[in-house]
Amino acid sequence: MKKQRYYFSTQHLNLILLSFIPCLLIILGFLIDSPKEIFKGLYDLVIAPDILLTDYLAVGGIGATFLNAGILGLLCISIVYFLKISLTGPLIAAILTVIGFSFIGKNVGNVWPILVGGLLYCRHKKIEFKTILTPILFATTLAPAVSEIAFGLNLSYYISIPLGIGTGILIGFIIIPIALHIVHFHSGYNLYNMGFVGGIIGTLITSLIQGFGFSIRTQSILSTEYSVFMKYLLIFISVFYLIVGYIMNDRSFKGYSDVLKSSGHALGDFTERFGFGLAYINIGIMGLICIFYVLLTKGVFNGPIVAGIVTVMAFAPFGKHPRNSIPIFIGVYLAAIIKIFNASSTTVIMAALFGTALAPIAGSYGCIAGIVAGFLHVSVVANVFQIHNGLNLYNNGFSCGIVAGIMVPVLEAFFKKEKK
């Protein structure tokens, strides 16, 4: 009984700590903007085309964006609570990723159909919804497909909205078995497997839409006015988790060296292997490293950059740490210097942040392999976007799947002895 009580108290504590970000965002949203501005902005987010790159800070304003992110974050946490699901590194990654992408494409209107599709899949397979909660949350990468079909094709809303909802439900229904099959292509060396899956399904949806004579207008809507505020907010959140982790880990960094020795491959759950204290420490440290990189490259803290930083923090309990992620940053930065890319542009900084999905390559095969992976990723991600026209929010995950799928067999064949 004592052990059971301890489990539930620890579970509740972690849910409260995870709720810190969405609650903070909702409070700040109403402190910054008036309710009228917030709800008007939230409506604008729901009906806006959400394909990459759509910065919600520019579309709906900071108050509406914060409320949107807060609601989706609390929705995910509430599902975990009511289904009595144990928090794990992958589940934390999924929840924080949803919060991060609530700044650039996921909203209170377009994620529901995919979740409903996942629920129907569970009923068809006669399994519990909690068994697929983590991957179905990641599957909301295709939420822009729901919005684009519902509001972006210039059809009557009587036709387009049901069609968009139906498409989202179908995506949620079929994406789990596809994801389980595709993971073998990159052997788990791409942490954003659902981004790779989303890229493939997004390509199919784009082809069908264009095949019926409709066009998907790509866009790049970015904000600049909230950069300073977002920078300090991200620093505050990172330091918060760093301090919380330090306290939970008996007021020490003891054991963090073991985290740094992990390759990040084979679905490494840091909460299970090293404890929640060290996982929170790693979240804080990875957040600060990302912020430093953006400052180093003189980038702007807009919606996409915020999404990138929060996503890196999301995977800090599930595969990423400074030792296997920094080589990816170096590779991207070198590519920007040598090639035609601008290191301070939002897209290149996003490539560096999201490119850390390839961290297991650096963790398994060494720093040089990680640098090469980052170097290759910049060129690939700049081109694969055109295949799905932004319907897949995890475009970098799509690119990382391609890079890992090519690099890993070569590394296995010629450098297997060096693998750690």
Q: Using CA atoms, how far apart are residues 122 and 125, in angstroms rounded to an integer? A: 5
| Per-residue model confidence as pLDDT tens for the chain (420 residues) | 444 444 456 888 999 999 999 999 999 999 999 999 999 999 999 998 888 889 999 999 999 999 999 999 999 999 999 999 999 999 999 999 999 999 999 999 999 999 999 999 999 999 999 999 999 999 999 999 999 999 999 899 999 999 999 999 999 999 999 999 988 889 889 999 999 999 999 999 999 999 999 988 878 899 999 999 999 999 999 999 999 999 999 999 999 999 999 999 866 799 999 999 999 999 999 999 999 999 999 999 999 999 999 999 999 999 999 999 999 999 999 999 998 889 999 999 999 999 999 999 999 999 999 999 999 999 999 899 889 988 999 999 999 999 999 999 999 988 764 444
Assign 276 to helix, strand or coil. Answer: helix
Q: Report cis status (omega within 30 of 0) of the bond before 53.
A: yes
How many CA atoms lie within 13 Å of 268's alpha carbon, on the beta-carbon side? 26
Q: Using CA atoms, how far apart are residues 282 and 308, in angstroms rounded to an integer? A: 16
- Residue whose C-alpha is closest to residue 268's, from 185, 324, 220: 324
Give the dihedral sign, CA 191/197/202/207.
positive
Measuring CA to CA, how many Å separate 161 from each of 142, 198, 219? 16, 21, 21
Give the pTM. 0.95
- The helix (H) or strand (E) run that includes residue 204 is helix 193-211
